[in-house]
Amino acid sequence: MDLHSTKNRPARPGFTLIELLVVIAIIAVLIALLLPAVQAAREAARRIQCTNNLKQLGLGLHNYESIAAALPPAGVLSGKGNVVTTWIGWSVHGRILPLMENGATFNAINFDHSGESPQNITVAALSIAAFLCPSEPDARPATANVGISNVTNYGFCMGDWFVWGGFQGPENRSAFGPNRSRRWSDFVDGASNTLVAAEGKAKQPLYRDCGGLSLVKNPSAIPGPEQAPLDVVPEYGGGGCEFKTGHSEWSDGQAHHTGFTTAWTPNKKTVGSSPSGEPVDLDITGQREKKGGPTFAAITARSHHAGGVNALFGDGSVRFIKDGIAGPTWRALGTVAGGEVVGSDSF
């Protein structure tokens, strides 16, 4: 073996440590630049799918009204005065299923019993893709009073603060309510200027059954949308309210599960205290419809999209409503016959 032969062999080319570090740094910078763009593209796709889901709800409503000559009720109750004796709470969601290519699920529902009944536990636990926004981070079923129920990200418009006046009380000013089926001809403000549905967050923290709201109890004198939540609703602090979650049961026709109200503008934070004393962004309903009227509630439209919520209007169009919409404009869009004049440039 020639010991001198290796000395004359040319050195192999390679990277120095500094060159390797420079390459790694460049790759890291490229990833940092590309990742937000990829995330933005994915969110844009999710928002498009969310818009399509609302359009499907709109088509379902229009087909339902063309067949039944009226829109579906947000639950069916019987009783007298403010006392409910029978609650059949099937939601608008459940009633339009066959018109959204979910006929098999609809046929599995026993409409003589509520979604929480043993007869309907299985169907209420089903996940319906059209009822879920792709941006929802926790679409897992929620544990309900009976068995397991599945969540939804869409609520139908069920009032401003005033939701239901009982069996002898006045009707609310919005598209949907218990024991009531409006027709499109009732939308005298114009279908294109009337909210029908909007997004909500699944498992939204909620105070309910507070025994009523001490300062919100007159349908003709409800708090303005510009007022401070804790000033007009001290019950946000807890007290005798039950702490639960809303938008956790697509089968339940009550406002806190399958509705929203225009009490506050989209994504408005209404911070109260949880039972443990921690601050939490809350929805609130003084008394659930199934417990008897009158019902006043703030079930805020919320979404996981930055800057606003997708909303369905009576004409079937879906528009992205920004968080900064003026409170009176949002309220006006929530009425079917309020007589307000709302310009298209105001939302």
In a domain, 23, yes or no: no
User: What digits encode the pLDDT tens for the residues 259-315?
Assistant: 999 999 999 999 999 898 899 999 999 999 999 989 999 999 999 999 999 999 999
Q: What is the pLDDT of residue 130?
A: 96
User: Average pLDDT for residues 188-196, to the nearest whole number?
Assistant: 96
In a domain, 34, yes or no: no
Burial classification of residue 31, based on how many CB atoms lie within 10 Å of its CB (0-12 exposed, 13-18 middle, 19 or more buried): exposed
Q: What is the pLDDT of residue 144?
A: 60
> pTM for the complete prediction?
0.88
How far is Cα 33 from Cα 27, in angstroms, rounded to an integer? 10
In a domain, 5, yes or no: no
In a domain, 115, yes or no: yes
Q: What is the pLDDT of residue 74?
A: 96
In a domain, 271, yes or no: yes
8 A C-beta contact, residue 161 and residue 298: yes
In a domain, 35, yes or no: no
| Tokens matching residue 304 | 């996981």
Q: What is the pLDDT of residue 286?
A: 95
In a domain, 9, yes or no: no
User: Average pLDDT for residues 173-177, to the nearest whole number?
Assistant: 97
Nearest to 94 by CA among 322, 252, 326: 252
| Tokens matching residue 151 | 């969540």
Q: What is the pLDDT of residue 8?
A: 58
Q: What is the mean pLDDT of the chain?
A: 91
List 260's β-bridge partners, or say none.
157
Q: What is the pLDDT of residue 188?
A: 96
User: Average pLDDT for residues 221-229, to the nearest whole number?
Assistant: 96
User: What digits encode the pLDDT tens for the residues 55-83?
Assistant: 999 999 999 999 999 999 999 999 998 89
Q: Which one has a higher pLDDT value, 19 or 196?
A: 196
| Tokens matching residue 347 | 């939302």
How far is Cα 134 from Cα 214, in angstroms, rounded to an integer? 38
In a domain, 56, yes or no: yes
Domain that holds residue 88: 44-346
Place of tokens 């026709």: 253
Please give the tally of structural domains in the chain. Answer: 1
Task: Report whether pLDDT(38) > 70.
Answer: no
Peptide bond into 13 cis (omega under 30): no
- Local confidence band at 146 (pLDDT 50, 70, 90 cut-offs): low
How far is Cα 242 from Cα 236, in angstroms, rounded to an integer? 11
| Tokens matching residue 128 | 């319906």
- Local confidence band at 342 (pLDDT 50, 70, 90 cut-offs): confident
Task: Report whether pLDDT(13) > 70.
Answer: no
* Whole-number percent of the chain with pLDDT over 90: 76
Task: Report whether pLDDT(19) > 70.
Answer: yes
Q: What is the pLDDT of residue 1?
A: 47
Q: What is the pLDDT of residue 77?
A: 94
User: What digits encode the pLDDT tens for the residues 243-264?
Assistant: 999 999 999 999 999 999 999 9
